[in-house]
Structure 1
């Protein structure tokens, strides 16, 4: 049984800096209440819940979701690092699509420690540690592995296609321009190109070209067509296709940081989605992608088929990633400006795209948006790509 899966409610808390307050279960419950209110249904109508998070214990999902009520429903905990929220969404979508439930909730939340890279892997090896072997460009222990991988991927791209370091910096400038219109974003102050190029962390990337941790929550209510009809919900946004990929044979091969940071995962998942939906990348109006760094965004333009390989620099310089171009990428500001509460990010992306397709994104609205693409990844590794549409 493969049924259409509708998105009938979304909710999000404003993202805040680590240590700025908020308990994870309060944030999760607030996002859940907002999503239920948006859907116009009571919590007792929800038949299952899927909770994505990273910094928590095995019952954090139960603690957060039961703040909405004690109804005895299954609550499934999902911890998949940066892709936790989108993995919860993936499982929730399957429950509706295959007739397991008529209405489900997916929620992602995080109260991030201030220095996530130094706190997460104290008693075991990081899942990305295998990338540290490097090759000619060996990684060093003083800088987090993922930080170095992003910079190494940028250098690899520059050597391959002759791209300029200024092009990567332009992504951070664009991110802040979009975030200035988003009340949910943590970093909303405008940036000049000159400011972005200051304070290099790892050549050629600077401090402002990496996303930073945040705390926050987001939630989404999914349902079947029959449920939507019974509750008077007309023409909802729906999931046209969705795919998940995990590490491929080339993901950990020596010599390519571009592969190591998930290029092939995004490429494979996106092609699967386009085929399932019968919709090509040229038809995408708006996209939220996982910009862990400016290098990530540049490379994902090509991995997701939004331009040909080697043409990402031209896409940026032509303004085809922002308002007035062929499509708008990360109208929310993306992770670079929203901040990255690991478990919440994937569902926050969903919320932004649903608002865009409904035409309710206020002064950041993408005109006439009907097809939306979402990309969320955890390096080392899982990637979820989702396409939404509104008829």
Structure 2
């Protein structure tokens, strides 16, 4: 029988515009500085020393090999296995998935998942141009059904948004309202890259990136880090941490299915990965979409958040626009989706994103999220995706439940 897995400590840095932050001595804020800040905070939150961590998984997308070791050496050097993880935008959640597997399988009693990113300003680009690009097949398939635009990310998600508009009558305003919501949520998040509130007209009138997606509906490049300490039930009991522990009651990771190339734009941005990962989590946890009060999901673009309402089972296909119009995904609605501000406003340092989502949901389940706190939280859902591809979905509940 698999061991239970608990989140016992979380920590994160403020997410920043690339290159904006410096250290106190004026030197650049580099990834070891980020890791030291988030990792120290997570260990302090758990009330343990780094020497009690038996394995560590460190996620980043842009960086040299063994950057994970260099990052964690800021905390200590204890000789433990440190595994470097790269899974595109789902890197942070993949690191957490692997750390949870180690505990679930009895290979460790305490494991650390840490993610960071030090990014270049502007749109994401390729580093290695002398070899096949991981998304080459996806982009070729998309080019056969949609006009071509570069950079690829807004094209891929914008095309899926257009497809939903054509099939179900969704409007540009529906997508803009998601950007409006997430920017409004971030006003109360000191860790958010942006903390500005906008009107709907300002969202709609901001610079067009790929119709219907305007700039204020797109996640920015970001620097930052987040960390999560996971532990077994025995570790939690020995350290008397049940009062703060959050249980991972369901978790699944999927990669692309053949159906991803079914001739639709939503297939190419991971629809079936999302659907199948969510189904596995619901089955494992015994919970359904209606049982969660708060959700952190991968809103790299507003179009993706809208499509995820349907993929995660919050509503039937074609009904996501109605959820937006009804205010079902904000405070006072059925769920609060992305209370942190989401990727659109909180920021998106790729390797840290999934772990920052877990950090926010842990605070929500503990009731310590301050002005962002959602009322009556008993269960939380996390979704993180990387194209090319991997989707990670996690269900969380307070340990004492």
Structure 2-normalised TM-score?
Answer: 0.95
Q: Which residue pairs with 2:160 in the alignment?
A: 153
**Which blocks of at least 5 consecutive residues in structure 1 are unaligned?**
none
Distance 2:350 2:14 in 1: 14
Equivalent of residue 93 in structure 1, options 97, 100, 103: 100
Q: SS of the residue aligned with 2:125? A: helix
Kindly indicate whether the alpha-carbon contact (under 8 Å) linking 2:123 and 2:151 is maintained by their aligned counterparts in 1. Answer: no
Shift of 1:119: 4.3
Equivalent of residue 59 in structure 1, options 66, 70, 88: 66
Alignment deviations for residues 163-203 of structure 1 (CA, whole Å, 9 cap, x no partner)? 11101000000001100000000011111111111222212
Distance 2:161 2:70 in 1: 41
Shift of 1:147: 1.2
Q: Which residue pairs with 2:262 in the alignment?
A: 253
Shift of 1:124: 3.0
Equivalent of residue 49 in structure 1, options 56, 65, 81: 56
Equivalent of residue 270 in structure 1, options 273, 278, 292: 278
Shift of 1:121: 4.6
Q: SS of the residue aligned with 1:272? A: helix
Does residue 214 of structure 2 align to residue 232 of structure 1? no
Shift of 1:120: 3.5
Kindly indicate whether the alpha-carbon contact (under 8 Å) linking 1:132 and 1:139 is maintained by their aligned counterparts in 2. Answer: no
Shift of 1:123: 3.4
| C-alpha RMSD over aligned residues | 1.2
Q: Which residue pairs with 1:287 in the alignment?
A: 295
Does residue 322 of structure 2 align to residue 298 of structure 1? no
Kindly indicate whether the alpha-carbon contact (under 8 Å) linking 2:218 and 2:302 is maintained by their aligned counterparts in 1. Answer: yes
Q: Which residue pairs with 2:368 in the alignment?
A: 360
Q: Which residue pairs with 1:32 in the alignment?
A: 39
Q: Which residue pairs with 1:70 in the alignment?
A: 77
Shift of 1:135: 5.5
Distance 1:121 1:197 in 2: 35
Tell me: CA distance 1:205–1:16, structure 2 relative to 1, closer, same or farther (3 Å).
same
Equivalent of residue 316 in structure 1, options 324, 339, 342: 324
Higher mean displacement: 118-127 or 159-168: 118-127
Kindly indicate whether the alpha-carbon contact (under 8 Å) linking 2:138 and 2:388 is maintained by their aligned counterparts in 1. Answer: no
Higher mean displacement: 90-99 or 144-153: 144-153
Equivalent of residue 385 in structure 2, options 341, 362, 377: 377
Q: Which residue pairs with 1:348 in the alignment?
A: 356
Shift of 1:283: 0.4
Shift of 1:343: 0.2
Q: SS of the residue aligned with 1:189? A: coil
Higher mean displacement: 128-137 or 261-270: 128-137
Shift of 1:360: 0.2
Alignment deviations for residues 221-276 of structure 1 (CA, whole Å, 9 cap, x no partner)? 1111111111111242110010000001021233x111111111110000000001
Shift of 1:81: 1.1
Distance 2:50 2:143 in 1: 53
Equivalent of residue 339 in structure 1, options 344, 347, 360: 347
Equivalent of residue 167 in structure 1, options 148, 152, 174: 174
Structure 1-normalised TM-score?
Answer: 0.97
Alignment deviations for residues 308-336 of structure 1 (CA, whole Å, 9 cap, x no partner)? 11111111111110000011000000000
Distance 2:109 2:123 in 1: 37
Higher mean displacement: 301-310 or 355-364: 301-310
Kindly indicate whether the alpha-carbon contact (under 8 Å) linking 2:282 and 2:288 is maintained by their aligned counterparts in 1. Answer: yes
Alignment deviations for residues 49-70 of structure 1 (CA, whole Å, 9 cap, x no partner)? 1001011111000000111011
Distance 2:255 2:57 in 1: 20
Distance 1:373 1:222 in 2: 17
Does residue 5 of structure 2 align to residue 5 of structure 1? yes
